[in-house]
A and B are shown apart, each in its own frame.
Chain A
Amino acid sequence: MKTISIMLASLLVLIGCSSEPPPQWGVEIEGEWILVNDLHTHTGTWDMMPPGFQNRLANRAPDAFRWSFGPVTDWLLNPDSIISQMNNAGIYGAGVFALYSPHTTGLAPNDFVSERVMTHPDRLYGFASFRADQWNLDSAERLAELERAVQLPGMVGIKLAHAHQQIRLDDERIYGVYEISARYGKPMYIHTGSSPNPGTRYEAPYADAAYLEDAIKKHPEAIFILGHTGYDTKNKALTFVDNAIELAVKYDNVYLEPGALGAERGELVIDDFVTRLKNANVLSKVIYGSDGVQMPGYLKEHLENYVAAMERNGYTKEEMRQVLSENFIRVFGGLGTPPNQIAEADTGA
């Protein structure tokens, strides 16, 4: 029934329903509005996805509708659609990731992402990436390309997904990527934990952030944002979460992101997850992200579920503000601040 609802919702939006920016950004907590930025969204096209990933997406639909997932996916991942979902959720700014994962989720090339985020440069922020599947042959070329890509319009960070790119987290061959991150001041989003996508490597050396510790120590000027905080989404378990949290406690240059914990798959572990973050006293290092856009309404649903979990588990408004926007704005040098709030800050309002 849910998949049919998704299909109908997609059709309705295709027909012409679009959302305007809300009168107030963010979420309302006890009468106070808290700004929200979403670190983690995706763009792309159906044609640039490998067959295994296409099948996974298409299998969300009833048999009779599977044919439709190509055009629906292309529509869902275009920047206007992302902005529409953000408006619907009250989210002001969002990171949008380039991808070079031909084994798993496919390609969203750097120039493609730069062009897409520049359609809404005040609200979409690009993360460059690099191809690693033939690293012994072309690493110099790939690093040069990454260096070019981080300077493209709209690019604010770097995206890595070792488990998708078939690289161990302790593989020192890609330390050049971390050096570029430090040199250009572009924080890195690094996927940790598992993933339900076919072709993903699930073993600990690809999923457990503890394997990144040497790289973190050797690159103190680079910012490592541990995506999903080690959440083992394949098994719906917090398998690697404590090791990720420990790194954020131990190192100034390590941050955490809770992408996908607010999704339906995370409902049994989200309370434990937000409690572990609070008890570890690392909320000043947590940057909200969703791993959207996935399907119509996903950004809003993920945000509502995550906020509800924080409320259920005793987060203060100030703690929620840190997680939902303040840490993002601080790490990304003011990005994610709506113009009216900049004006208010300038006038001391």
Chain B
Amino acid sequence: MKIFTHKSYAVLTSITALIVLSACSGAPEEKYQTVTLNGNVELQAGPVPAGTIHFRLYTLWFLEGDLRHPLEEIEDFQSDSANFTHTFEYPLHKGTGFAIHAWIDTDDDGVFCTPSVRTDPGGLAWTEETPSSEIDMTITLTDNCRNASWFYPPAP
């Protein structure tokens, strides 16, 4: 029982210290930049096929040290037109740079390719610059059924 009391005291002391420490620190402040994206989707060759175009926005790089990684998701949206404008909140606390992935749902099944139907083209455009209030991007669709990590970082 005495041991229990001593350990309890040690744990409570540690907890108090941690409370004090946690009160002195805080999560990184969330900061956003409103960005208007003017975009254009094109195919590597030929006209853009019909179908809903699905987009996903990313910061290009996020975190530091061992956890540093490319392509941290910001948000998704869709468009029925290859020329589009989209306004979003860029999370300045979640990295640097910018990337946009697009794919066209050519068979209108809502899925970016199935194991047997491989007709939906995809592509990625990126910039290492963190966007300011407005950015223009052209996304060239080069490969069917390929997600963002297939394109970036590119092979040397």
**A interface residue numbers (CB < 8 A to B):** 11, 14-16, 48, 50-51, 55, 67-68, 71, 102-103, 106-107, 132-137, 166-168, 170-171, 173, 199, 203-205, 210-211, 213-214
Tell me if A67 and B22 are in contact (CB < 8 A).
yes
Q: What residues of chain A lie closer than 8 Å to B149, measured between beta carbons?
A: 132-133, 135, 166-167
Given contacts A167-B149, A168-B147, contact A68 B15 (CB under 8 A): yes
Q: Is the CB of B18 within 8 A of A16?
A: no
> Which residue from chain B places its CB closest to the CB of A11 in the assembled complex?
B11
Partner pick for B115 among A171, A203, A210, CB 8 A cutoff: A210
CB-CB under 8 A for A67 and B18, given A48-B66, A50-B67 = yes
Contact call A102/B67, Cβ cutoff below 8 A: yes
Asked if B18 and A133 sit within 8 Å, CB to CB, the answer is no
Contacting pair B150 A173 (CB below 8 A): yes
Residues of B within 8 A of A (CB): 3-4, 7-8, 11, 14-15, 18-19, 21-22, 27-28, 63, 66-73, 111-115, 145, 147-150, 152-156
Tell whether, in the assembled complex, residue A171 and residue B112 are in contact, meaning their CB atoms are under 8 Å apart.
Answer: no
Given the known interface contacts A16-B3, A67-B19, the answer about A102 and B147 at a Cβ–Cβ threshold of 8 Å is no
**Interface of chain A, main secondary structure:** helix
Q: Which residues of B lie under 8 Å from residue A213 when comparing CB positions?
A: 115
Are A102's CB and B111's CB within 8 A?
no
The residue of chain A having its C-beta at the shortest distance from the C-beta of B72 within the complex is A103
Closest Cβ neighbor of A170 among chain B residues: B115
Q: Is the CB of A205 within 8 A of B112?
A: yes
> Are B67 and A106 interface neighbours, CB within 8 A?
yes
Q: Tell me the complex Cα distance, A132–B14, Å.
A: 39
With A and B bound together, what is the CA distance between A192 and B27 in angstroms?
Answer: 32
